[in-house]
Chains A and B, each alone.
Chain A
Amino acid sequence: MHIIVPLRQVPDLVEDLEIDASGKDLDREWLKYKMNEFDDHALEEALLLKEEVGGAVTAVALDGGEVDKLLFTAAAKGADRLVKVRGDFPTPLNSHAMARALAGAIQGLDYDLILTGVQAVDELDGQVGVLLAHYLGIPHVSVVTDVQVHDGKAVVHKEYAGGVMGEFDVILPAVLGIQAARQTPRYAPVSRVRMAMRKSTIEEVSAEASAEGAPDIRKLFKPEKGAGAQMLEGSPEAVAEKIIHILKEKGIVQ
């Protein structure tokens, strides 16, 4: 079975995010990127499926940022094939453009199943996975927490609010938006990543992408500060004291 996992880089939220001079995008000069955490789950689920039913996992990512490292990390974890999609992409790259570029690239590859992260923190104009499915003309299910594959179809669990799940049969090929893999995504030992850098090859394909389908961004702004919480300061001792005082006041503890 051929499983494709598109990987995307998202701004690392640990770092402070700054808005650029135009006010319409993040200041990307110093921005640190990391793999979208849901994509990491998608990759993990793909690797687990491969271990179960055999086949190959192909990691696909759009050029830019530290894309090579991203792909080599996937190889270190067990991806068999690495594909980098090049093209003249708009910046910032929105979900529609990304999905079009991915669709263009994936069309030329063998695939039975495409696993994407269910969402990402920067998907202003919808989820890449669902858009990709439509550009490829194949079905999709989002918010998937369990996948089993047999006889050309996938049996998946889709999760709703409150933990109720729907079970679906999906005829392959299909795109699944993975909410969580069955286990914590595995660690990629640095030596394996480095080995991949030396041993694995990244195939390059080009694709085109228009950004159409997204709203026009007027501006970015940070949520107002100060309106929020009253901050409790001091030593842990003093803070604990204050919390207990508040809880007593509200009658939550005696």
Chain B
Amino acid sequence: MPELIPSREVFRHFPFWAQFLFYLTAFAGTIIFFYGFYSRIRKYRQGRADNRFDHLTRRFLNALSIVLRNQTLYRGDAYAGFAHSLILWGFIVLFIGTVIVFLDHDILRLMGMHLLQGTFYLWFSLILDVFGLLFLVGLFLMWARRTLIMPYKLDYARVDRDEDEYDRSGYLADDGFFLGLLFFIGATGFLIEGFRIYADQPPWAGWSPVGWLTAQFLSLMRLSPATVNFWHAAAWWTHAVAVMIFLAYVPFSKAMHMVTDFVNLMFRDNRVPRRLPGVSETQLKEGMGYKTITDFTWKELLDLDACTKCGRCHEACPARSAGQPLSPRDLILDLRTFADATFGTGEWFSQRVKGWNTDRAVIPGGIIKAETLWSCTTCMACMESCPVGIEHLLYIVQMRRTLVDEATMDDSLQEALMNIGDYGNSFGQPARARGKWSQELDFPIKDARREAVEYLWFVGDYASFDPRIQENSRRVARIFHRLGIDFGILYEGEKNAGNDVRRVGEEGLYEMLVEDNMAVLQQAKFQKIVTTDPHSYNTLKNEYSEFGLQTPVYHYTQLLARLIDEGRLRFQKKLNYQVTYHDPCYLGRYNRETEAPRKILRALGVEVKEMPRCGTNTFCCGAGGGRIWMDDAHIKERPSEQRIKEALTLGKLDYFVVACPKDFAMYSDAVKTSGNEGSIKVCDIIQLVEEALG
């Protein structure tokens, strides 16, 4: 009794012409799909070269692991992560199921084989049914999120343009179409199954629980067998056509993220933005940085297509939060819209921006406003929060290079850069005044250019010249001295390390600073570098190696933490304070050092209350990327002030502890300007260390 072997007919009751029509539709859908992807690949091929083809297997497995685990999506938004997992796994299983049907029906059958029957078929039915249901649940959760929960990050309102300057209804349409179409495909799938089970009443219907349930509902309508067959055929065709529309839709919509994001994660560079690319000779000739869309690399063009508008960067960005005209999300979307217009690719539903001249226009200062680019603090929150590996900072800095090349900048930034060029520091102080802060110490600090030392202390501009911070520098010196650390400084030989000069986009000045510093460093005798400034730490550690620096580089909190481990630093006195610790972007996020300062705090005995945004998820003080040199008078609410408010939500706090000279300056100001002088005090971690040492 072969009919009792559990199975199903793919083209149930279909005449030949209907089968032919189906193949025609499928062919059309597939052609459009491949054309769409071909046109995208053609677009990427017009980008500049960027060799990211090393360790391909490792890259592939790494991307696969991230995608299958939905790892980057759960971070910071478990709801979205969960819903996405349901959709992703539902989609994958249904997709595999469809592939099996295709193989079985269109290939194996021709070879006289039949896979989908018997036990295999039963399990196949059950698994597809369950995952199909999870798929629909996931889609429902996402729909509820967009319509009922409406988190801020999903609001497409722009921060850099007035409402009448753009139209983003296309994005809403795309979201609706994407969710709706997928839901429709899933739902009609169950409907087909329901009608089939209703009509055929197979004894193994229980292996398709959702289909069986659907059939039970349908049977309430008491339809004639012919009507059921008609409705089955109708549902089948609707489903089939919907699937083919979806197939065609994928490369022209947000659905393309299913492909682009995997590839994008695979080809991301984990060293960005700790290490930024230099400027090649050819680029120098053509003008530095990125001027037009063809200056972008293929990976960067791919980045633009990878964005799903999830809005995590939009939410995390301190510039956006301060009311500045920058949203990393909108930057990416604008570049995507512009790239599509330039290369003739496009989305079915997109945004429109008024006043754009899309005819190969200049991007920085044109398509992307100069103020937008200058708003970035390079805090890396956007990249950290991006689930799909977009490297925003790379091209923000590249576009800034063009602005610098054309000298389009804020007067105070220009002044700071000229000071750094003339005197090696942004304060416009004579170079020989750099070591002046040390004169008030009752012991001399070794000059590492003349005497050999174990630790070369690279002090940095703010710690050397800002009168508010000099006392902290002296504290560090006193403690190093007391702990018997053999250390020295470079005095006037040191220049600004250039971390933020590079991130401002003044690459020429950066190179000059590196050359000058390297010349002095090569002369000096030392084994390791220690720095108090996380910004200098970043460039010395990650970028100077390209210019020949070989020695290890430590942040002073790392050195102190190690001395605690070694038992060389012990505190007699326990401090009875309640504090919170602010992770500097360039230490915590860029360089993943969140433990050393906390180890010191634990050793001090203070009670540490963590702010909601801490560790690698820290919130920027607003000073990085050269912002400290730019005007911040028109900022609605400075990031530093927002941060102080965040700290104050923790209840009573004695100290807001920092481990970065710029943070000390920024937060000392913010406490004053936000009117919280009575409620919280800012201190460098070294101040507590000194107090506990007595």
Please list the residues of chain A having a beta carbon within 8 angstroms of any beta carbon in chain B.
Answer: 12, 14-16, 32, 34, 184, 186-195
In the complex, the answer to whether A187 meets B284 with C-beta atoms within 8 Å is no
Residue B509 interfacial (CB < 8 Å): yes
Residue B122 interfacial (CB < 8 Å): no
In the complex, the answer to whether B405 meets A14 with C-beta atoms within 8 Å is no
- Smallest distance from the beta carbon of B504 to chain A beta carbons, Å? 11
How long is the Cα–Cα vector from A25 to B589 in the complex, in angstroms? 54
Chain B, 593-621, contact with A by CB distance < 8 Å: what is the 0/1 string? Answer: 00000000000000000000000000000
Residues of chain A with a CB closer than 8 A to B423's CB:
14
Residues of chain B with a CB closer than 8 A to A12's CB:
422
Residues of chain B with a CB closer than 8 A to A191's CB:
279, 284, 288, 405, 507-508, 511
Residues of chain A with a CB closer than 8 A to B407's CB:
186-189
- Smallest distance from the beta carbon of B621 to chain A beta carbons, Å? 21
How long is the Cα–Cα vector from A191 to B422 in the complex, in angstroms? 15
In the complex, the answer to whether B417 meets A187 with C-beta atoms within 8 Å is yes
In the complex, the answer to whether B409 meets A187 with C-beta atoms within 8 Å is yes
User: What are 7 A-B interface contacts by the 8 Å CB criterion?
Assistant: A187-B418, A190-B421, A190-B508, A190-B511, A191-B284, A192-B508, A193-B508
Residue B170 interfacial (CB < 8 Å): no
In the complex, the answer to whether A192 meets B509 with C-beta atoms within 8 Å is no
How long is the Cα–Cα vector from A126 to B409 in the complex, in angstroms? 36
Residues of chain A with a CB closer than 8 A to B411's CB:
184
In the complex, the answer to whether B430 meets A189 with C-beta atoms within 8 Å is no
- Smallest distance from the beta carbon of A124 to chain B beta carbons, Å? 24
Known: A14-B423, A184-B411. A189 touches B428 (CB 8 A): no
Label chain B's interface by main secondary structure.
helix
In the complex, the answer to whether B422 meets A189 with C-beta atoms within 8 Å is no
Closest to A188 in B: B407
How long is the Cα–Cα vector from A192 to B287 in the complex, in angstroms? 9
Residues of chain A with a CB closer than 8 A to B284's CB:
191, 195
Q: Which of A16, A34, A190 has the most CB of B within 10 A?
A: A190
In the complex, the answer to whether B414 meets A187 with C-beta atoms within 8 Å is yes
Closest to B467 in A: A236
In the complex, the answer to whether A34 meets B422 with C-beta atoms within 8 Å is yes
In the complex, the answer to whether A14 meets B428 with C-beta atoms within 8 Å is yes
Residues of chain B with a CB closer than 8 A to A195's CB:
284-285
Residues of chain B with a CB closer than 8 A to A14's CB:
422-423, 428-430
How long is the Cα–Cα vector from A191 to B505 in the complex, in angstroms? 11
How long is the Cα–Cα vector from A184 to B413 in the complex, in angstroms? 13
Q: Which of chain B's residues 508-542 have a Cβ closer than 8 Å to chain A?
A: 508-509, 511-512
Residue B506 interfacial (CB < 8 Å): yes
Known: A14-B429, A184-B414, A195-B284. A190 touches B506 (CB 8 A): yes
How long is the Cα–Cα vector from A190 to B424 in the complex, in angstroms? 13
How long is the Cα–Cα vector from A223 to B596 in the complex, in angstroms? 53
- Smallest distance from the beta carbon of A200 to chain B beta carbons, Å? 14
Known: A14-B423, A187-B417. A192 touches B405 (CB 8 A): yes
Residue B404 interfacial (CB < 8 Å): yes
Known: A187-B404, A189-B288, A191-B288. A15 touches B512 (CB 8 A): no
How long is the Cα–Cα vector from A45 to B409 in the complex, in angstroms? 19
Closest to B421 in A: A190
Residues of chain A with a CB closer than 8 A to B508's CB:
189-194
